[in-house]
Structure 1
């Protein structure tokens, strides 16, 4: 009895515990909208793509989960298989190489030719003044003209204009290994380069069809010369007018003149003296200008003097691959004539490298050379006239 009263007394003296607070109510967030229902007709697949309605964001910045949707993705494109090539040494397939066919039905005979290795400048008694010297061959009477810091207009039949008056033309007879300047010609001393008269940039760098030094060798075309010889003297303007003396220096070249033009620039030699370096050469034949580009390896197959000796019977003309067939195919742009047509056709399916210099081949030039014809020493590419 006493224990129950004491416990009842202690329970009454203990303070009452406060009730827990109610859960917070977020009234600033709108209620979550139910997922949209897409009406789907029979045969309609997939359901239309409707952007989800704007809704509340959660703490991880994620949108609320969306209803299940089927998205159609087209199949990936099928890769195009490259053409099959034989694996070469370095594991890379060769690039396709074009083959050009060139049949030499006629050989262009160059009546005048300047030897590029002999072109030089000779010092004179005047400081900064140098004579232009070289050697050339001529199978017909010709004349020589030189220009310094001159410009050539290819649209006007290769007309040459220079800021200073050009030197008089020097005439030469038919012959080999002519030396210029000629000691017998009094006007040869006027063909000089004065480094004090022109800026060094104009003498060392060509720009915009303007060249530091231009040397032109002109001769009558063989057909025009034969017509003039057959006609009687004083028979008319056809024979009298077709002469080199009637042409002005640097004028537009007529079709009855065959000319070779050499373009050069001044360079400093190892000993500090000035020299001349050839930039390019062009020939003018029947009113068309051709740029001369040497084909390496064609000289080895030239007959040695017997006109009846064929091109195939000359030693040293074998293909560098099969070592049996004569070479007749040139690799461009390196211009190495080192393969026969059969080996060149097989080579372009395996590699695109030249067998001589290992440079990349852009195209192959197949040259068909007839028997009893001397192979030309240079190949000409037509230039605008």
Structure 2
């Protein structure tokens, strides 16, 4: 399971923010970014004002209106960074639609196409008992740090299914089907102005008081193909730990680092190694932001900071 680094900060001021005042970027007025940030126990100045360090600024729209308390107090210099456990993870590459064709209503009628519906399947891992619910065309609000979803139609929410802890569990619910013939074209994709998510998969940890405020959320949209069929595509994933919402991002290169059993490719130019792309000797352990390429060792990354400002993989400037 994944893990998230966090620092417990006490004594912050509690700001009263309306639950439905969602963040929108770019803002109509004012600033949403400070002049510095904390990472790994150190304070860094922000070189680019109004710049989101871990991705595109528009990604912030997928977070709640209050992911952490503000303003911050300066953390103690020797306060340890603790790892927060990610108790549930939905494997977004396993998300798929299963097609069902209903011939019962059209039997005996010539020229009438059978009704086509879709159900959702995916694979997930859980280190605790979990309750999974599907929502379609849903609005998002935050209440007491937890995401609450309300579908436009009461029939667009599935029953909640409970699972025990386990790895590589399969979710399948044929009883909950999606009929896209009743959907408008704009309902298939996420529109920030409308604030309606085409599909939400919410997995809430159901392990008692010790794990309250833990959940995993996958936001997805749908795509119509030229042959009339549909597919599902993940948009973003969020992890809620101790009622704090985190946006999950891809790390490019970590698949090579974790896949030790990958057979070497016949192509000499393929990158199946774990070595730093600069020195080709030490293991890669340093991530470049905001492109999120895991391609450097600590020594080369420290040297590159003073010699260049571009990622050696994609050539984008780093921060």
Q: TM-score range by the shorter chain?
A: 0.5 to 0.7
Matching residue of 1:125: 101
Matching residue of 2:249: 293
Structure 1 residues 167 and 268, CA gap change in structure 2 (3 angstroms): same
Distance 1:346 1:123 in 2: 53
Distance 2:226 2:276 in 1: 39
Judge conservation of contact 1:206–1:265 (CA < 8 Å) in 2: no
Q: Which one of 147, 152, 155 corresponds to residue 140 of structure 2?
A: 152
Matching residue of 1:189: 174
For residue 218 of structure 1, give the secondary structure of its aligned residue in structure 2.
Answer: strand
Judge conservation of contact 2:251–2:292 (CA < 8 Å) in 1: yes
Distance 1:173 1:189 in 2: 20
Structure 1 residues 107 and 300, CA gap change in structure 2 (3 angstroms): farther
Q: Aligned-pair distance for 1:221? A: 5.5
The answer to whether structure 1 residue 358 and structure 2 residue 315 are counterparts is yes
Matching residue of 1:218: 204
Structure 1 runs of 4+ aligned residues shifted over 6 Å read none
Matching residue of 1:200: 185
Bigger CA radius of gyration:
1
Distance 1:172 1:316 in 2: 37
Structure 1 residues 332 and 138, CA gap change in structure 2 (3 angstroms): same
Distance 1:159 1:218 in 2: 11
Distance 1:120 1:114 in 2: 12
Deviations 1:34-64, CA, capped at 9 Å, x for gaps: xxxxxxxxxxxxxxxxxxxxxxxxxxxxxxx
Q: Aligned-pair distance for 1:319? A: 1.7
For residue 118 of structure 1, give the secondary structure of its aligned residue in structure 2.
Answer: strand
Q: Aligned-pair distance for 1:128? A: 4.0
Deviations 1:180-220, CA, capped at 9 Å, x for gaps: 21xxxxxx334322212331211223334321000011113
Distance 2:199 2:159 in 1: 15
Judge conservation of contact 2:293–2:313 (CA < 8 Å) in 1: yes
Matching residue of 1:111: 87
Structure 2 unmatched runs, 5+ = 1-35, 42-79, 103-114, 262-271
Matching residue of 1:168: 159
Matching residue of 1:102: 40
Matching residue of 1:282: 238
TM-score by length of structure 1 reads: 0.51
Judge conservation of contact 1:264–1:278 (CA < 8 Å) in 2: yes
Distance 1:109 1:192 in 2: 33
Deviations 1:240-274, CA, capped at 9 Å, x for gaps: xxxxxxxxxxxxxxxx1421100000013475420
Q: Aligned-pair distance for 1:160? A: 0.8
Judge conservation of contact 2:129–2:207 (CA < 8 Å) in 1: no
Q: Output the aligned Cα RMSD.
A: 2.9
Q: Aligned-pair distance for 1:144? A: 1.1
TM-score by length of structure 2 reads: 0.61
